[in-house]
Structures are given as structure tokens and as C-alpha cells.
Structure 1
Amino acid sequence: MIAKTIRTCFPIAAAAVSDKAEEINKLNVFPVPDGDTGTNMSLTLASVTKELSALPADADMEAIAGAITHGSLMGARGNSGVITSQILRGVAEGLVSADEPITSANIAYAFRRAVKVAFQAVRKPIEGTILTVLRDVSTKADECERKKFSAEDALDAIVVEAYQSVARTPDLLPVLKENGVVDSGAFGFAIFLENFVAAALGRSTVVEDFSATFDSAGSARDAALNRVEIEANDDWEGSEFRYCNEFLFKADAPFDEDECLKFLGSMGDCELLVGAYPDYKIHVHSNTPNLVLEHMLQLGQIYEVFIHNMEMEAHDRTAKIHEDQEKAAEPAKALGFVAVAAGSGEADILKSLGVDVIVSGGQTMNPSTADLLGAVDQVNATSVIILPNNGNIRMAAEAAA
């Protein structure tokens, strides 16, 4: 039952984070304002969803935990994605021996395990981040266990605590308060948790049903959102390291992981080395990614290397925020248009005819409902007409409507 619930609910919660990825990105000012937390968390969760879908229908909780651990490790992107992978691993491992049906004691144990695994992965935990929210959620789960809450009430309570903890993050991390935001990774974690719980408890829509069933959850979410007054942060001076360096690593032989972490720390900051011999995920912010790669090549093989220029990403984030602010200042027109186009030529024609936003797609490359909704959100209009331009896209357009 627990295994089936996870397989059903995980993709729903992952999709919710994906839908909110851009909003989460705009909150991202720590450890650097590169605006990629939502994207990285979404990609990490998508990797788990893919791995879970490949399991046989009768897979047990041990197999589920293995898929979550492996999928999140292989797909972890960025600082937030790697930490999220360790939270998921801890919760999954904690549920392997859970009772059927699950109890508040099982939930508390799973989150205690997640705290242990996630905090072990981070050499210098910072208060006011996703780790703080995880710890607060675990403490609330322990309280629910002591009070002998039902599993449903315990799940409701930890979602409320997650959002309340998110709302407190600016009071713990000065850079968040300076920029008028809550922590982006913490917010993404709360969104995932809320949607997972809503799906597990059979609530069709989080915003309506969840708030009605457990009203303080909606209030807690609103309190977190009310702490957000996103500012365009153009200041890169506080960021000493320019490149986000992350890759998968297969060790040739057992090596000293502590010494490796010390080396990564000497190359930059936000260093993470997670996994178990022989497979690891490595992440570090550094000005010399070449030296990081050269060192690790002496110990084994590297693959799926991603090197991001965080300074450029930060400027892109700032530009998007300025663009959104300019749009918000403009009065909304009565009617806007979103259209699906298969190529640049068709897109140019549609734009010349007054279409506001073009979604790339067509036969055999159908955009999703989320893609269309995202396009609608970009149009500053009271009403928006979607032109799917393909019979296969019509259902997605109707679902968006």
C-alpha cells in the first residue's frame, strides 16, 4: 500500500514543483542569485519519476526506495537538487520497514532518517534554508507521534509546519530579508510536500480541498507567500565563485571521502559529495572547474558534467524580474492570444498577426497542459484565447482552459 501510494503521488508532487519552477527560480538569491533552484529541483524530481515508472507493477517498498535513491542521485542538479536527493533518500529508507497502514510513528521515523542523511551530506549547514525546514518538519512529526496523531492528521500537520518554517526563513538568513524573499529551496520542498500529501489523502485540488480540510494549511501557505516581495538583485560582488560544477563520478577503488571533500572545499564552496562506492554525485562552486575535474580523474571516471556560469545566470534572473515588473506596471488588455507553432516561420507570421506568446509544437511534438498554462501566464490580458493549431493539442488546450 505504501509503495503504491508513493508511485502514484510522487509524479503528481513532482509535476507541481515543475509547474512552479519559474516562481521558485525568482526567489533564488542564496547561496548565489542564479535563479535556477526551481529548475534544478524539478529536474531532480523528474529523474526519480522516470526511475519509478520503470519498476514492475508489484515492486515493494525496498525497490521503491532503491529507485528513489538512485534516480535522485543520478538526476540531481545543482546545490538544491543534490540536497533534495538526500532528503528523498532518507525518507524512502525510513519507510522501508513502515507498518501497513502507515502510522504517525512511521512518518516521524522517516523524517528523522531524512534529517540524518541530509545533514551528513552538507559540511556547513546554513540556517534559513531547506535543511532548516526539513528539521522543523521532523520535529513536528515527532510531536505528532508523541500525541498519537492519526497518519492523516500528522501529514496535515507537517505540511502546515513546512510552510510556517518557510515563512520564518528570512528571519534566519539575512540575505533573504535583504531581498524580500523566502528561501527558494525551502519553498520548493513545501510545495512538493503539500501536493504529495494532498494526493495521498485523495484530495483532488490542493488550493481548494486542502485548505478546506485543514484550514491552517492554507493560512500557512499564504503567510509564506506574503513574505515574498521579489527584488531584482544585480549585486554579484558577494559571490566569490563564478562556476557551478557538478558531475557524476564512478570511483575506480575506495577512496577517502573526507579528504576528497576537503579538496573540493579548497577549490570553492557549496561542496557536496553524496552517494556510496562506487557511484557518487559531486557538486562545488569554483573558479577553477578544470582543476576539480583533473583531480577527480585521478580517482575514477567522470560523466554527465554540467558547468554553469552563475554570474550570467544571475543577470538573466535580474532581467526576467525587470521584465515581469514592467509587464505588471502595464494595464492589462482585454484579450490576448497564445498560439502553437511548428517552426520559426509560422511563429513569425502568427506574431505579425498579433499573437502574444508562441508555444513550440505541432504534429509528434505536442506541448503539455503545463506548457500552455505557462504561456497564458505570460500574457498580460484579462482573457486569453489559445490556438492549438493541431487536433492532437486540442485536449491539452481544453485542459489548460
Structure 2
Amino acid sequence: MLDTLDAPAVRTWCRLALTALGQAREEIDALNVYPVPDGDTGTNLYLTVESAAVAVEDCFADGTEPDLGTTVAAMARGALIGARGNSGVILAQLLRGMAEVLARGGEPEHLRAALLRAAESAYQAVAEPVEGTLLTVAAAAAQAAAADPGGLAEAADTAYQAARRALLHTPEQLDVLAEAGVVDAGGRGLVAILGALSDTVTGQRPMGPVALRQELGAGSAPDYRVFRTCEGHERPPGPGHPAFEVIYLLDAPDEALPMLRSRLASLGDSLVVGGGDGLWNIHVHVDDAGAAVEAGVEAGRPYQIRITHFAEAAARAGEGATAAPQGRAVLSVVSGSGLAELCEQAGAAVLLADPDRPPASAELAEALRRCGAREVVLLLNDPELRAAAGAAADQLREEGVRIAVLPTRSPVQGLAALAVHENSRRFDEDVVAMTSAAGATRYAELAVAEGESWTMAGVCQAGDVLGLIDGDVAVIGPDLLGTGEVVLSRMLAAGGELVTLVLGAGTSDGLADQLVAHARRQRPEVDTVVFAGGQESAPLLIGVE
């Protein structure tokens, strides 16, 4: 439990918030009926927090610990630059408000004041604030925390719990939510983010799906259901709603903003202006997209301009890949030059990932675009990439590309999937075959413990070799060979026809030779293949098909 908020805690908060939004992204998208039922609020919030998290990670890139002020400023600026959609710009403004106060310190009183400033900033950013939205949830969280006299953990948890209660009541404040039978999507995302903050400070795990009907007890609130599908969210806005969403970053002096706000407010609705100190993120729904951009030109320098026609976006989502390039490709994400070469030899495009910094959704989306194909199968080879891959895939689907994300959890599963890939098959049949091959491959890896830690196999010390089977620590040993033999024996005990050994950077061929001999002693009928993967993350990867 933390007594004060510092830079590492902000880093942890960003990571946990991104994880929470990744888990809830599709659920939040499905709740999205206001202000436009376009089913992208969860994705927009995820991309906004992802940009904030990347900016915070950059603060730690040189190996030194930054101060709190530097870290929260980076978080706020990253969120502003990467903000997507109405909800994303409002969230960026919330984080900016928090950063203004937390730059002065991380004591409990600073957190309480930061939450109040965040809610105030968010209301100021929205031209016509509406209750029953993310704004309402933010205000309820801030007011509850301000009234709590306890320490940092109490303030964070009180804000989180108040946000959950406020979320439950949003349909009572906004008719469109009550008619659809949902809570506010942006408010649901903020609950996840505040849950991550509480988790960071208290060390507990309050996150996960919001049990709406159980939150206040039986009979204390209406029985609002949560949509689990996006049915109905691909319809275009109804009559009278502006046709375009316009978003851009703007370099402009503060004194130019009142005139810009007035001009944009006269053009449309859902106007949100976030930022400050010369950098702004502009979001508005209009019928005349050109006029909205021209207003930005008159105020300063607009860039990163994104214009979405709601009806065309819905049509693209419904039609699938009609406008995309032809052909099929497989994109494999790996973190070793040898693995990259293996995948390329098998016919896949490769995204070579930094083992210390997994690719963000923008990097994955760009790699998918470079494939230049109408249909793309994405092999993740890492369970930590699922959320980012989901957001990237959604972006490509909006562009007319058909995407199948295979959640392979290890490169050996990716290699097994590539081995059965055939472009001549129908896309669905190819995906099924690759998924089956990956699922039939048990995976393991050897890793070296960096310090003392509790594991499912007991307590390990720094320098111990950990044998992980299907992602869980199953063996703790003193050396690579002994641990590898135990892991291999356990895997072969469940059967198998082919053993794949992928050597990491610096791992000797002698280790592979000894493990091959061990496998033959255990199961003479099993074939064994050895590859030099070059991965830094694990001395050895093992696959058993």
C-alpha cells in the first residue's frame, strides 16, 4: 500500500489502466449509444491511454527514475496527442487536470485536489456538458474522494467506488441510455481507469467486469442490462445528427480558442476542446467537415486531421473487405532475428518486436497495412499483445481489410500455425486450420529469475532457472540443462509427435544436443527439430505437437 504517489506508481497506473481497458474494450464498445451509436468508445479510450502509457515509458527509457511532475506531464501530453473520439479527448483533459495538481506532489491531499481539478477541467472542455456521461462519473468520484479524510489508499478507493455507483445511475440521467438499457460507455471506461488507480495504490485487485445489478444491492437500482454484442451499433446517426466527426491537433495561442470554440459550436455539436499551453485536441460533429478544418486554420496550425463520415464508416463495417487490396498475408510478431527468418521462410511478413517494449496498437496497425493484402492473419506469439492487437485489427477492419487475430501465446505455436498455412484455401478454412495447429502445440520456455519471487512451483531466487509450461512456472532448477530435461519430460508424458527447440541468443548448441538426446531416451518415436531463434527474452523455447 502506497502512502504517496510517485513516478513508478504513475507508470504502474498507466500499465494497469491499459490492461483494464484492453479487457473491457469490446464490452465498452458495445455500450456505446451516446452521443453517436458507432461502437468505438472502448477502442478510443484504449488508444488514448495507450498513448499516455507510451509517453510515460519514454520517461524511464534511460534507466533513471524521473520525478513525479515530469511523469504526469508526459502522461497528460501523451493522452492529448493520442486522444481518439469524444471520450478520448475528455479523458485526456481529465488527465491534464490531474497532472496540473500532481506536479506539486503526490500526497493524499494532492490526489483529492487532482481529482477535483480533473472533473472541473473536463466540464470546461465540453461545449455543452450532459449529465449521465463520463463527466458525471468523474464528478462523483472527485467529490467522494474530497470528502474522505483518509490517506492515499482511502482516497483512491473511495473515488473508484463512487464512480461505480455513479455509473449505475447514468441511465436515470440520460434517456438514450435508459431506452437502450445500458450504462454510459465513457463512464464505464473511467471506472476501469479509476479501478487501476485504486489497484496501484492499495495493491488489491478491484478491476474486472462491473457487476452492475449487484453494486448497490437488490432493489436499490433499476435492473439495467449490459449489451454483450454490438447489435444496432453499426447504424448511422438518425435524422438531424451531423454527418461527420472531425478531430485534429492544433497548435494555437490560448487567446485564439474562444473564437474557435464559438465558430465550431455554430457548425455542429459534441464539441470538445482539450489541451492548453499552445497544444489542443479538437473534436466536433459537423455536416461541413471542411469548415471545421478551416476554423482550425484560422486559429493556428491544425494537423493529424481525421474526418469520419458516420454513414460510410457503418457501411464499411457492414461490407467488410470490399474496398481493400487483393490477396492474403500472414503477419507474425517475433522478437528474435532467427525467429524472424524462420517466419519469412514460411511465407509470413514479420514485425520484429523489441523484447523490452512490446509494439503498441499503432505499430501493429501500420505493420498490418504494410502487408497490402485484402485478408491478413495476425500471429501474436505473446499473450500480452491481445488488447493492442484487437484495437489495431478494428482500425484495419474500418479500412476494409479482413483480419483474423490468432492469439498464439508463444512463437512455437506461431510456427506450428505457419506450417499448415495455405493461401489456396478459403480464408475461414485457413484460419481454422492454423488455429487448430497452434492449439495442438503445447509450449514451454526457460527463463532466468531476476530476483526472489513467489511462483506456482515455490520460491525462486535470483539466478534460478524457471521452467514455464503453458505460461505457468512448473519447475525451478539450478541450470538450463537440468531444468530443460524436467520440463521436456513432463511435456512428453502427455504425448506428442514433434518437439521443437528454439535457442535464444547466447544459448549453446550443446544444450540443444543434450536435450535432443534426452527426448530420444524418453520417446524414441518422437521427432525433434532445433532452430536458432535469437530471442533475448528466453534462453530456450519448447514446443510439443
> Which of 80, 83, 95 does residue 76 from structure 1 map onto?
83
Q: Distance in 1 between matches of 2:93 and 2:437?
A: 40
Q: Which of these residues, 101, 104, 111, is aligned with residue 115 of structure 2?
A: 111
Q: Name the counterpart of 1:360.
A: 378
Deviations 1:51-82 (A, max 9, x none): 10111432111101210221111111110000
Aligned-partner residue type, residue 85 of structure 1: A
Q: Is the 8 A contact 1:388 1:394 kept in 2?
A: no
Name the residue aligned to 2:68.
61
> SS where residue 238 of structure 2 aligns?
coil
Which whole-Å CA distance do the structure 1 matches of 2:87 and 2:444 have between them? Answer: 34
- 3-state SS, counterpart of residue 215 of structure 2: helix
Report how far residue 22 of structure 1 moved.
Answer: 1.3
The answer for unaligned runs of 5 or more in structure 2 is 321-329, 333-342, 349-375, 391-404, 408-434, 447-467, 473-545
- 1:315 to partner: Cα distance: 6.2
Asked if the contact 1:40–1:80 (Cα under 8 Å) also holds between the matched residues in 2, the reply is: yes
Equivalent of 1:95, from 102, 114, 138?
Answer: 102
**Kindly tell me: are residues 113 and 299 of structure 1, through their superposed partners in 2, closer, same or farther at Cα, counting changes over 3 Å?**
closer
- CA shift in 2, pair 1:217/1:183, >3 Å: closer
Q: Is the 8 A contact 1:250 1:301 kept in 2?
A: yes
Residue of structure 1 aligned with 2:438, choices 355, 365, 387 = 387
Report what 1:293 is aligned to: 293
SS at match of 1:298: helix
Of 106, 131, 137, which residue of structure 2 is paired with 1:133? 137
Question: Which residue identity does 2:197 align to in structure 1?
Answer: F
Q: Which amino acid aligns with 1:41?
A: L
* SS across alignment from 2:190: helix
Q: 1:371 aligns with which of 373, 383, 386?
A: 386
1:257-305: CA deviation from partner (whole Å, max 9, x where unpaired): 1111010011111112222243211111111111221232233322111
Q: Which amino acid is 2:299 matched to?
A: L
Write the distance in 2 (CA, Å) between the matches of 1:191 and 1:6: 15
Post-superposition offset of 1:198: 1.4
Task: Tell me which residue corresponds to 1:29.
Answer: 33
The residue number in structure 1 matching 2:401 is none
Q: How does 1:166-315 map to 2 (within 5 A)?
A: 166-203=167-204, 206-207=207-208, 219-220=214-215, 227-229=225-227, 232=232, 234=235, 236-238=237-239, 240-251=241-252, 255-314=255-314
Unmatched segments (≥5 aa) in structure 1: 321-338, 348-357, 378-383
Between 1 and 2, higher relative CO (CA 8 Å, sep ≥ 6) is seen in 1
What SS is found at the alignment partner of 1:283?
A: strand
Deviations 1:294-340 (A, max 9, x none): 232233322111111223445678999xxxxxxxxxxxxxxxxxx99
With 1-10 and 163-172 compared, the bigger mean Cα shift is at 1-10
Instruction: State whether residues 388 and 397 of structure 1, in contact with CA within 8 Å, keep that contact through their aligned partners in structure 2.
Output: no
CA shift for structure 1 position 40: 0.7
Q: 1:81 is aligned with what amino acid?
A: G
Could you tell me whether the CA contact under 8 Å between 2:250 and 2:302 is conserved in 1?
yes
Report if the CA contact (8 A) 1:180-1:227 is conserved: yes
The reply on whether 1:41 has 2:36 as its aligned counterpart is no
Query: Cα–Cα, structure 1 residues 174 and 149, in superposed 2: closer, same or farther, change >3 Å?
Result: same
Provide closer, same or farther for how the CA distance between residues 29 and 180 of structure 1 changes in structure 2, counting only shifts above 3 A. same
CA distance in 2, matches of 1:203, 1:181: 28
Partner of 2:127: 123
User: Which residue of structure 2 lines up, in the alignment, with residue 162 of structure 1?
Assistant: 163
Report the CA distance shift for 1:10/1:130 in structure 2 as closer, same or farther (over 3 A): same
Query: Which residue matches 1:328?
Result: none
Structure 1 residues 181, 47: closer, same or farther in 2, change over 3 A? Answer: same
Alignment root-mean-square deviation, CA: 4.0
Q: For residue 151 of structure 1, what is the aligned residue in structure 2?
A: 152
TM-score when normalising by structure 1: 0.75
Q: Report the Cα offset of residue 137 of structure 1.
A: 0.6
Give the C-alpha shift of residue 368 in structure 1. 3.8
**Contact between 2:92 and 2:274, CA under 8 Å: does it hold in 1?**
no
Aligned mates of 2:20, 2:223 — CA distance in 1: 16
Any conservation in 2 of the 1:254–1:277 contact (CA below 8 Å)? Answer: yes
Q: Choose between structure 1 and 2: higher helix proportion.
A: 1
8 Å contact kept, 2:17–2:197: yes
Structure 1 residue aligned with 2:367: none
Determine whether 1:10 maps to 2:8: no
Distance 2:37 2:212 in 1: 29
TM-score w.r.t. structure 2 length?
0.57
Structure 2: distance between partners of 1:397 and 1:304: 45
